[in-house]
Structures are given as structure tokens and as C-alpha cells.
């Protein structure tokens, strides 16, 4: 008997892909999406349900000194092949289901359109950095607990760095 190689049941990237495909905005249906998330939580013991932002994880001091400053920073998990339009639609749909100020922030991406080249194109192919998400949170006066919840909302979509930059630019224009 031959065996088809597969990833372990706890593989985060496979669950993210499955949940993403089951989501109603990606062509799945609501009941299938709910069932998929419940199945993931049952199999993985809720370990994958809410990802701890990478900057809050305990790491070995030798791997990442506290004084280091990465130019890219830690970003939310992201599929670089994800379509910006689909993620924008997902963010707008989620805006109706989440509490404020998260819904307000997600509605800011309504006019965030994809680009085909340049630095903005690169930004739409990677996850939002926690630094950008924190800047958004500070801009609207979030507490630390609210910012942690904001990270979870951004991870659930997931928001791209282009989305985060777009939201931050709109907030700064509004404040000016």
C-alpha cells in the first residue's frame, strides 16, 4: 500500500487555507465555515484558534535579542498568492460582525485597490506588520487589550501590509 505524504493535522497553514476556502466570501457557505472552524478547534485543542502575535511569543534570547530592530518586522501569517480584492471583501464583510472600533477600521479598506507593480504591489503580497497594526491602534486610542484584539481581527482576515498602510493613511488624513 502506498501512502500519500501529507502535513500533520495541526499544520497552521493548511488550516488557514481550508478555513479561507470555506469562508462565504471565498465561495464557501456559512454552515461549512462554522463547521470547519469547530473541527479545527476540536482537533487542535483550540491551539490554532487564536494566534498569539509573534512579538508576544516567548523566544530564545539567542534567537532574537530585545535590542534588535528588523526592517521588515514581524507580520501576521499571510498567503502571498491571496487576492487583495478577496481579502478586502472579507474585511468589509467582517466589519459588520465585529465590535467598534474594529468595524470602523475595516471599513476604511473599501477603496483599497490592487496594484500591479512597485512597493505597493509588494505590500499587498505580505501580511500586515504588528508594528503597523499597533500604529493604527494608537491612532484611534486603543488600549493594549484592544490592540491585541485588533491583531486577532487582522489575522482572521488576514490583512495585508497594503491594507494596514491604507487604513493608517486614511486615519492620518482624517486627523489632519
Show the cell assigned to 152.
Answer: 486577532
Give the residue among 139, 20, 49, 152 at the shortest CA–CA distance from 99.
Answer: 152
Question: What would you report as the CA-atom Rg of the chain, rounded to the nearest whole angstrom?
Answer: 17
In this prediction, residue 71 carries a pLDDT of 40
Task: Give every residue of the chain whose pLDDT is below 70, as ranges.
Answer: 1, 45-73
Domain boundaries, the chain: 10-49, 74-176
At residue 73, the pLDDT reads 61
Cβ neighbours of 164 (radius 10 Å): 27
**pLDDT computed for residue 1 by the predictor:** 65
Q: What are phi and psi of 118, to 5 degrees?
A: 90, -175
3-state class percentages of the chain: helix first, strand second, coil last, to nearest 5:
55, 0, 45
Question: Helix 84-95 crosses helix 161-175 at what angle (to 10 degrees)?
Answer: 60
The pLDDT score that the predictor gives to residue 137 is 95
Above pLDDT 70, what percent of the chain? 83
The string of DSSP codes covering 1-16 is --------TT-HHHHH
Amino acid at each position: 500500500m502506498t501512502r500519500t505524504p501529507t502535513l500533520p493535522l495541526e499544520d497552521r497553514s493548511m488550516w488557514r487555507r481550508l478555513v479561507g476556502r470555506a469562508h462565504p466570501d471565498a465561495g464557501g457557505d456559512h454552515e461549512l465555515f462554522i463547521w470547519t472552524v469547530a473541527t479545527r478547534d476540536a482537533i487542535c485543542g483550540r491551539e490554532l484558534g487564536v494566534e498569539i502575535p509573534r512579538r508576544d511569543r516567548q523566544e530564545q534570547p539567542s534567537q532574537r535579542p530585545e535590542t534588535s530592530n528588523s526592517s521588515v518586522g514581524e507580520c501576521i501569517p499571510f498567503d502571498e498568492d491571496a487576492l487583495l480584492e478577496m481579502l478586502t471583501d472579507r474585511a468589509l464583510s467582517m466589519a459588520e460582525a465585529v465590535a467598534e472600533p474594529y468595524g470602523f477600521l475595516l471599513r476604511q479598506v473599501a477603496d483599497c485597490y490592487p496594484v500591479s507593480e512597485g512597493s505597493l504591489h509588494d505590500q499587498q503580497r505580505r501580511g500586515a506588520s504588528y508594528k503597523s497594526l499597533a500604529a493604527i491602534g494608537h491612532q484611534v486610542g486603543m488600549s493594549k487589550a484592544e490592540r491585541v484584539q485588533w491583531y486577532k481581527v487582522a489575522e482572521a482576515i488576514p490583512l495585508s501590509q497594503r491594507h494596514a498602510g491604507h487604513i493608517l493613511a486614511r486615519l492620518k488624513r482624517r486627523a489632519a
